[in-house]
Every structure is written in structure tokens, then in C-alpha cells.
Structure 1
Amino acid sequence: MEMPRLLDGRLKLRHLVLVDTLTEQGSVVGAAAALHVTQPVVTRGLHDLEAILGVPLYERGPRGITPTEFGTAFTEHARAVLAQLTHAARHVVEIADATRGRVVAGIHLAGSNLLLPRAIAHLKEDHPLVTVVVREGTPESLLVELTAGRVDVIVGRLSGPGTEDTRRRALYQESIRVVAGAHHPLAARGNVSLEDLAEFPWIVPGTETVLRQELESLFAQHGLDLPANRVEATSFLTVRQLLTETAMVAALPGLLGMDDPRLVTLPTPLENIGHSVGLTLAAGRRLNPATQALIESLHTVAAQIEDA
């Protein structure tokens, strides 16, 4: 095929925004709602973009659209361009007023109760006018946000080495504990086996997470199925409330709820389940001053947590 001419004036910025949104939403209806336009506008824009590129970007199905190989590749490049434009605008603002800035931190369960809050407080001591935006989500959704430039840094569990698009920095090691409400029937027991816990309802992370897979493997090693009576949740506020008001149990990072008198750690060994907590950054992207300052605060607080 001939090389598409993307600089002849036909390709618009709105086309990049469109393909980013279509891939994220997985449907024309969802993309139209997210962009606050009608479905015909989205369909027409997609047809225009496919005509410019000369390839199909999505396969249509009864449940929505799925990116083709071309669509996946073009989405990655579109997100990279949008991310660079976002950071260019912020860089100009920061040059105009060096005392101000903005950093968007993505967070999932690990690091959400101590590391990030303390790092933000540490940052604010020296940079009171820097705005910190915290976005909670699953690791997968946050990676999409990071790639698209809508998140500057992700704080949480490091499930593996960096990729072509990301780089990771470990901050400290954290174990996983079984946690329950202080009123739980097993709270006073000196030894609680996994078999004992299988009789109670569980709060578990989503199927796409590494911790969920590790829990399923652990139960299988003991000849058990993951309890059918379960709730899937990653919001610590939701998890904590369920633990304090019900007989549910959850496998959580050790620092979560450590100083909460309403929660107890049950003496149940979780063999070989632990992880590194750290940062995930976009590879090759220049860090703005606000992001760099937050990263420095995260390193400082992580060292304090390890010492403690």
C-alpha cells in the first residue's frame, strides 16, 4: 500500500481524539457520549479517517467495535501525539509561572493510604501552589490514561518490568495480609487457615489483576475454589466499610488499614504473595517540574516507610 499522506491538511486533531475515544469506549455510542456529539458525527469522522489512512481501523460487531491491527497501532501513535500536546501546553504555563504547576497521579490499592497522601503533604510544604490531581482506577485503565498523557505517574503495585511504552521504579516491598473487621468471629483466633476463611464471604480484586490470579492459585494449591460468595472491589473506602460492617475478609497490602482500630490482620499465611510498590512512568516523556517534585516526595516518603 502507498504511504498515507498525513500532513496534507486532511488529518485533523479531532481525528486523533476520535480514535483515542473509540478505542477506549469500544463503541460508537460510547464515543459519541464521551465526546458530546451525535453518533452520525462519530461515524462520519471514522469514515474520513479510514479513507485518509486507506485501512480499516475497527471491526464492527453486535456488541460494539474492536480495533484491527491497524487500529491498535494508530491508536498508540494518536495517544502519543495527544500526550505531547497536553504536556506542551502545560510546559508553557509552567514557564510563565514557575511557582505553579499540575501533576496527575493515578493510584490503585497499594500505596493509596500512606505513600501517596504523605507524599502529597510533603510536596505541598515546599510547593503550595502546585495542583495535585489523584485518579483512582484499575492498573489497566490507568496505563491507558498514562499512555494518552492524561496521567503523569501511576503509584501502586509493580506487576512486572517496564515495557516499550513504560518505565518502572520500585520504592519498597510490601506483603499481602488477610484483613477483617475487629468484630469478626475469627479475630481472636491464634491461627486461622485458608480452609477456615473459605467459609466466609471475600472481597477480591478484579479478574484482570495480578493479586486476583495469585489468590486463585493459592486457593487451588490448598485444593479449594475461590469462595463463590464474594465481592469484587478495589476502592479502599468501599472495602473498609464492608469489612467493618460485615463478616467479609479481604487480602490487602499490609500497610492498608494498619492504624485502623476497626480492622484486624488475621494470622493466615499467604505463601509467596507479596509485591513491589513503585512508580510507572511513560517512557521517553519529559517530566514537567510538578511531576518531578512529586516523584522526589514519593521517594522521600517511601524511604521513611521502609525505615519504619
Structure 2
Amino acid sequence: MRAIDLLNGRLKLRHLVLVAAIADQGSVLRAAEHLHLAQPAVTRSLREVETLLGVELFVRGPRGVTPTMFGEAFLEHARAVLAELRRAGERISGLADGEVGTVTIGTLLAGSNVLLPRAIAALKEDRPGITVIVQEATFDAQVPRLLDGEIDLILGRLNPIGDLRGLRQVTLYGEPVRLVARHGHPARTRRGLSLADLLDYPWVLPLEQTALRAELEQLFRAEGLVPPGNLVECTSVLTVRTLVRDTDMIAALPELVARTDAGIAPLPVPLEAVRRQVGVTLPAHRSPTPSARLMLDHLRREAAEIRDLVAG
């Protein structure tokens, strides 16, 4: 098969939808039910795609289907095409009336506690017809979905994008990261409390693949310390706050997260080496949809007020 063969009209949009549905549902039968089609029709259409491509896209097994190497490659492009078509439909609708649409936000820990709820509330008051979808995951997990168009922007601490071409970042405000513990934590009774003293207690840290975790581990090593061995790895702000409030665990949290929980407070151990910038990460070569653009406008407005709150 030559690449030009995919442009001769034999590959249909329904083929892309069908292959994505089979992968998402894990079986031809469940894909047929999801698409409200008969199973033989789905099987026949899948055979058409595989014949056109000249490769097998799925391995059939007793519990369903698994994408082959060729299937994974085709799915990556199929999902990108479908995402772009969804974005095209939303853009046309948004240009027509500016009242409806969807914006999908990938969120990290910083910014999710104060900035994002305020911006969402302002957006919904301005445009009640816009649906806001918030999905939490690590930065590395969100980037492929951002580039594929499945999410519109990533909000949180600005991670170094390094060699990840195709991204741009917009800084919204600076927010310190603090080491926090419950009010009655025994470490608060120590004079001249240091980072080394805190190793006597359990910690809750971000996942290993996050930039904040890497920065914290670098901080320990810079002071000649071994990173905590007694720890829980977690990125859920609700779980982290509960663990810190109800146990002797120590965590590193954005200042605004710590401020909004009466049961926890910062410890007098600075984290000057940890980056502070909170902002959004966007695709560099794709314009935001009208809904995403409105979301960005509200994020900027609310961030301007938060800058004063953090400074105070």
C-alpha cells in the first residue's frame, strides 16, 4: 500500500470511527453495541480497513482484541484526525453563535485549587452553554493528548518542555511551593527545624515522573540527604491534604492549596530552589477553539487577582 492510496476515497471517516471504537471498547461486539451497529457490519468494515492497509490492526483473543503494532500506529493518526474534526465542528459552531462548545482542561496540582474553580465559575456565568471538562493526570501523560487535540490546554506548574516541540507556555502567576504538615505535628516543636529533621517522618510526594518530584529529590541531594524512603506517592490534592491533616505525613504543596485547608500549615523550611511559575501549556501551531479562548481569557483575569493574593 502506498500513502497516496489513503487519499483515493476508499478510506472513509466511518473506518476511523470504527477502529477507534474497537480499540476503546476492547472488542468488536462492544464496539458494535457502542456504535449501534450489527456485529457483522463492524467486522466487515474492519476487514475493509485491514485489506486497504494490507496489515492486521488487531489480534483477536478469547477476551477481546488488542491492537497490533500497526494498529497502534494507525490509531494514533485516526484519533488525531477525529479530534481535529471535532475541533472543526466546535469552531464553526462557536463562530456562529459563541454560546456553545466544549473546553477540556488537563489539570495538575498547582492552579487546580483556586485559579481553575474561579475561572470555570466566571466562564459558566458568561457562557452557560459551554461545557467544561476537567481531567487530572501528570504532565507527561497529558502532553500526547494535548498534541492530539483531545484536550485544549494543561493548567498547572510550568514544567520544562525540553525537546517536546509543538508546545508553548503562558505564565499566569508565581506561587511558592511549601512544605506542610498538620498544626499539631511534632516537628513544629523542634528549634532550628531543617530538611534533615523532617526525614524522621513519613512523606507524601508526587509521582516519580513529575517535575516537582524530581526537583524535590534534587533538593535533598544538594543538601547531602537521601530522599525519604517512608512515603506515599500521590497527585490527588484531596488525598494529599487528608493524609497530611490526619497523620504525621509531610508534603510539598502549592501555597494556595495549603492556605485553603485550616488543618494544615507551612513548615519553616524554605524551598527556594523549587520553581514557582503557574500557567498553561498549549499547542504551538494550533489556534485555540472559541471555547478554549474564552477559558484562557478568564484564567488570565482570575490569575491577575490571585497574583495579589499570593503577594499578600
Residue of structure 1 equivalent to 2:184: 183
Task: Output aligned runs, 1:65-84, within 5 Å.
Answer: 76-84=76-84
| 8 Å Cα contact 1:218-1:271 kept in structure 2 | no
Q: Which residue of 2 aligns with 1:36?
A: 30
C-alpha distance after superposition, 1:189-233 (max 9, x if no partner)? 453212111111111111111111112222222333222211111
Once the two structures are TM-superposed, the CA of residue 271 in structure 1 deviates from its matched residue by 4.3
| Alignment map for 1:261-272 (pairs within 5 Å) | 261-272=262-273
| 2:36 equivalent in structure 1 | none
| Residue 106 of structure 2 corresponds to residue 106 of structure 1 | yes
Query: Where does residue 128 of structure 1 map in the other structure?
Result: 128
Give the superposed CA RMSD: 3.4
- Contact 1:180/1:264, CA 8 A, preserved across alignment: yes
- Distance change (3 Å), C-alpha of 1:14 and 1:234: farther
Letter in 2 for 1:36: R
Partner of 1:243: 244
Shift of the 7–35 alpha-carbon distance from structure 1 to 2, 3 Å rule, reads farther
Higher alpha-carbon deviation: 98-107 or 162-171: 162-171
Aligned to 1:291: 292
Aligned length: 297
Partner of 2:277, secondary structure, is strand
For residue 278 of structure 1, report the CA deviation from its aligned partner: 0.8
Identity over the aligned pairs, expressed in percent? 46
Q: Does 1:145 align with 2:139?
A: no
TM-score by length of 2: 0.80
- When residues 245 and 282 of structure 1 are mapped into structure 2, their CA distance, relative to the original with a 3 A threshold, is same
| Contact persistence 1:82–1:148 (CA under 8 A) | no
What do residues 128-181 of structure 1 show as CA deviations (whole Å, max 9, x unaligned)? Answer: 332222111221222232223221121112112484332221112222210112
Find the counterpart in structure 1 of residue 35 from structure 2. none
Once the two structures are overlaid, the 10-residue window that deviates more, 40-49 or 71-80, is 40-49
Segments of structure 1 that go 5 or more residues without pairing to the other structure are 23-27
Q: Does 1:218 align with 2:205?
A: no
Q: Which residue of 2 aligns with 1:6?
A: 6
Q: Which moved more, 1:197-206 or 1:6-15?
A: 6-15
Moved more, 146-155 or 121-130: 121-130
CA distance in 2, matches of 1:156, 1:35: 40
Q: Which residue of 1 aligns with 2:200?
A: 199
> In 1, Cα distance between the equivalents of 2:2 and 2:121?
54
Q: Give a deviation string over 1:243-269, Cα, whole Å, max 9, x none.
A: 111110111222212132211101112
Please tell me the residue identity of whatever aligns with 2:26: A
Letter in 1 for 2:170: R
Output the CA distance in 1 between the equivalents of 2:137 and 2:249. Answer: 22
Corresponding residue SS for 2:131: strand
Provide the rounded CA distance (Å) in 1 between the counterparts of 2:213 and 2:18: 33
Q: Rg bigger for which structure?
A: 2
Q: Which runs of 5+ in 2 are unaligned?
A: 33-38, 60-64
CA distance in structure 2 between the aligned counterparts of 1:221 and 1:44, rounded to whole angstroms: 61
Tell me if structure 2 keeps the 8 A contact 1:201–1:230: yes
- Structure 1 length normalisation: TM-score? 0.80
Tell which deviates more after alignment, 267-276 or 249-258: 267-276
| Deviations 1:36-69 (CA, angstroms, capped at 9, x unpaired) | 349x99999888656544578899xxxx98986x
Q: Contact 2:177–2:255 at 8 Å: present in 1 too?
A: yes
Note closer, same or farther for the CA distance 1:135–1:33 as it changes in structure 2 (3 Å cut): farther
* Aligned-pair CA distance for 1:72: 7.4
**What is the CA–CA distance in structure 2 between the aligned matches of 1:298 and 1:18, rounded to whole Å?**
37
Moved more, 282-291 or 195-204: 282-291
Question: What letter corresponds to residue 80 of structure 2 in structure 1?
Answer: A
Between the aligned partners of 1:2 and 1:97, the Cα distance in structure 2 is: 42
1:114–1:255: 8 Å Cα contact kept in structure 2? yes
